[in-house]
Amino acid sequence: MLEGDAYNWVKALHIISVIAWMAGLLYLPRLFVYHCQSQVGSNQSETFKIMERRLLRAIMTPAMMFTWIFGGWMYYSLGAWTEGWAHVKLTLVVLLTISHMFMSRWRKDFERDQNKHPESFFRFANEIPTVLMIAIVIIVIVKPF
């Protein structure tokens, strides 16, 4: 069980991880929108490939993993598995993770020059993490059930 300063450190690391992960989840689809506008094989397209790969591998995926590690540690430490709000939050975080996985697949499609989606698709995809984040914050702070 986490107590006192140890709990606060884990909570701080969890929040830092969430912020980094959310930044990537909000930025990567925007890169995809701009990538759609570039010619396949152009310098601009190749630059987007590098940016997308680095964002996903160096920031988003490690941040997602640390979010799960520190969040799971707190979830266990608090005994949150008995709380209804925690089940809803966990479900929403799973949906964020699935969104991350889809973005990873789309990045690979761009890397292979096989993107099949228009800009509008990625503009819509950009809204999904935002809606999930809002719901998670409300669930955690308000704890409606």
Residues making up the annotated binding site for heme are 14, 89
Read out DSSP for 52-108? Answer: HHHIIIIIIHHHHHHHHHHHHHHHHHHTGGG-HHHHHHHHHHHHHHHHHHHHHHHHH
Annotated binding site: 14, 89
Query: What is the C-alpha separation between 7 and 80, in angstroms, rounded?
Result: 14
